[in-house]
Each structure stands twice: as C-alpha cells, then as structure tokens.
Structure 1
C-alpha cells in the first residue's frame, strides 16, 4: 500500500470517494453534488486549507482522510484562533477490519 497527499489532479477521485462515503453512512444520493464537491476540493486544496491523504493499493484508491484548517476570532484559550477538523475518513469496504 502507498500513502500520499492528494493534489489538484486527484479532485475527481476525491469527489467519488466522498460520494461513496456519504452513501455508506446511509445518506440517500437524491441530488447531484458533484459540481459542489469539485469546487470545494479545488478551492480548499488551492488555498492550502485542506490536506487530504490517499491510500492506494495496486493503483486503486482504497482509503482517504483529511484535515481542514480554519480560523475563529482569537480567544484566551486559543490566541491564534486557528483550528483543525479531521474529516473525509473513508475506507473501501473490502479493506475494513
């Protein structure tokens, strides 16, 4: 297996993985969100506010995970206001333990 950071060239792959994740979580795909997902990944990867990791096995993408960085107004417990959120954790069902 190979682990690597996703880049702009992986956006179509990221869109499909996200759709699979949502369906596996029980969410009905009753609308098309492909365009919105594409724009999201393009913007966040370009801004550097999303780091998405991919796991590949024999050229097939089998898992992913991401960290999104965002900011709130600074406060006494977080002087910079910077925060991170772990998201898009997905593993192909054939690779789940």
Structure 2
C-alpha cells in the first residue's frame, strides 16, 4: 500500500459526499433527509471562493481518507485576533485503513492551511472516535460550547 495525499477537486465531489454521508451514519446521525444536493451545492460554492479546503488520502486512485475545513470569520476576540476560524469537518478514514496515521496526516495538512490563511484557531465537534486524535494533536476541550437548533 502506498498512500498519497492531494487537495480535493470538483471531480472528487461525488465520492467525497458519499464518504461524508458514511461518516455521519457511522457517528449515529438520524438520516431523515437526503443531503447529497445540499452538500454538493455547499462544497461547490465554497471550494470556488476558497472558504472550503479538503485534503484527500489515496491508495493508488482510491480515496481512503478525507478532511475538510470551512473558514469562517467573526469579530476578532482576544483568543483569535484575526477573527478567522477553521471549522473542521469530514475527517474520515475508510475502516480498512484506520490506525495507520492517515487521519493525523490529513489533520496536519488542513491545520497548516488554516495557519497559512490567517486563522487564529481551529475548532471541531469531535466524535467519540476522534477525540483521541484531536487531543493528541493538541486540541483542548471548550466546555462553554452551546448550540440552539432552529
């Protein structure tokens, strides 16, 4: 096996979207709607304007791992003077390829891009499976995170 890494292209979107849906299913999401159209619209728009970045891991030509980061901006604050935040998503590795450092390499690549784009922080809502990866990388928990669903 020879794993290579590259940035996503629009030609990868259908496979990327299926992997994103598999990730959500694996995390226990209630699948009450078909997200494919909404995901394709989101990724297409935000890849075009540079606010969505993804690195892929490949075994030959087969996509075996994904990462994603949306860059959002809010008013600057002391913990993030630029106001730019990288929101991680779509961190997923095919079951047959887990525990081989692929997710860590993908995470390193998107975090480096966040730094290059001027983000002051990177955030993720981690699955139970991902917590160890992120804490080992240096992420810390923020117990103040709250959400109001509309």
What is the TM-score with the length of structure 1 in the denominator?
A: 0.89
Q: Match for 1:52 among 48, 51, 54?
A: 54
CA distance in 2, matches of 1:6, 1:38: 13
Is residue 19 of structure 2 the alignment partner of residue 14 of structure 1?
no
Higher relative contact order (CA 8 A, sep 6+): 1
The 3 A distance-change label for structure 1 pair 59 and 74 is same
Q: Tell me, which stretches of 5 or more residues in structure 1 are unaligned?
A: none
| Deviation digits for residues 8-37 of structure 1 (CA, Å, limit 9, x no counterpart) | 222112211101111111224332111001
Higher fraction of strand = 1
| Match runs of 1:33-72 below 5 Å | 33-72=35-74
CA distance in 2, matches of 1:58, 1:33: 28
Any runs of at least 4 consecutive aligned residues in structure 1 with deviations exceeding 2 A, and if so which? 74-80
Q: Match for 1:73 among 67, 72, 75?
A: 75
Q: Match for 1:96 among 95, 98, 101?
A: 98
What is the TM-score with the length of structure 2 in the denominator?
A: 0.60
Q: State the match for 2:123 in structure 1.
A: none
1:23 counterpart SS class: helix
CA distance in 1, matches of 2:8, 2:29: 25
Instruction: Work out the number of aligned pairs and report it.
Output: 97
